[in-house]
């Protein structure tokens, strides 16, 4: 009997291996940044955590800490984006600068970085959104195939969103 063996994806393996390192969550976030850049592409990459009780997000990671530093919190306005990404757990793709303008209050800063499209991929656990991976690039960069490619990477973020900071 012969069987077809699947080959392991080296990018997924690198992210999974990073989870075992001591320097968490930095090791995991840097590995995700590198993997997302190789697998899908981005100019700006951030990881947000979402607090359902307060309706606030906090930036845990940014590959551009100058314009987008970690640590800040902001309350999100309810609307189609929050309903799709945070409530229903659906990925959001913004294809153009106009798409970003309708969703993000900081669309001018985003555009100044050469970013005109976005993929927001929710990280889910037990039917709830705990955070998101956010990839931004030039106009028209992202498509539906990128959602499927991003999903396993997003879910590998889960331990960093669930674990207490002192673990």
| Position 3 in a domain | no
| Mean pLDDT, residues 48-55 | 91
- Helices H, strands E: what count in the chain? 7, 6
- For residue 164, pLDDT beyond 90: no
Residue 167 lies in a domain: no
Determine, yes or no, domain membership for 1: no
Does any domain span residue 81?
Answer: yes
The total number of structural domains in the chain stands at 1
What is the span of the domain harbouring residue 61?
Answer: 10-162
CATH number at residue 114: 3.30.450.40
SS3 content of the chain, % helix, strand, coil (to 5): 35, 25, 40
Q: Is 129 exposed, middle or buried (0-12, 13-18, 19+ CB in 10 A)?
A: buried
Q: Higher-confidence residue: 167 or 50?
A: 50
> d(Cα 130, Cα 52) in Å, to the nearest integer?
8
Q: How many whole angstroms separate alpha carbon 132 and alpha carbon 51?
A: 12
Within-domain flag for 4: no
Q: Would you say residue 21 has pLDDT above 50?
A: yes
pLDDT tens digits, one per residue of 109-135: 999 999 999 999 999 999 999 999 999
Structural domain contains residue 2: no
The closest of 31, 24, 56, 27 to 45, measured between CA atoms, is 31
Decide: pTM greater than 0.75: yes
d(CA 95, CA 143): 8
Q: What are phi and psi of 19, to 5 degrees?
A: -65, -25
């Amino acid at each position: 009997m012969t069987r077809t063996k699947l080959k392991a994806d080296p990018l997924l393996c690198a992210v999974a291996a990073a989870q075992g390192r001591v320097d968490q969550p930095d090791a995991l976030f840097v590995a995700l940044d590198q993997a997302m850049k190789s697998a899908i592409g981005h100019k700006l990459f951030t990881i947000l955590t979402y607090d359902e009780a307060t309706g606030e997000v906090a930036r845990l990671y940014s590959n551009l800490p100058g314009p987008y530093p970690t640590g800040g919190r902001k309350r999100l306005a309810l609307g189609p984006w929050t309903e799709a990404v945070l409530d229903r757990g659906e990925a959001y793709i913004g294809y153009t600068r106009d798409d970003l303008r309708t969703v993000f209050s900081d669309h001018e800063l985003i555009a100044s970085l050469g970013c005109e499209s976005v993929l927001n991929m929710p990280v889910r656990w037990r039917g709830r959104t705990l955070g998101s991976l956010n990839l931004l690039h030039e106009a028209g960069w992202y498509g539906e195939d990128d959602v499927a490619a991003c999903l396993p990477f997003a879910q590998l973020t889960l331990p960093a969103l669930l674990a207490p900071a002192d673990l």
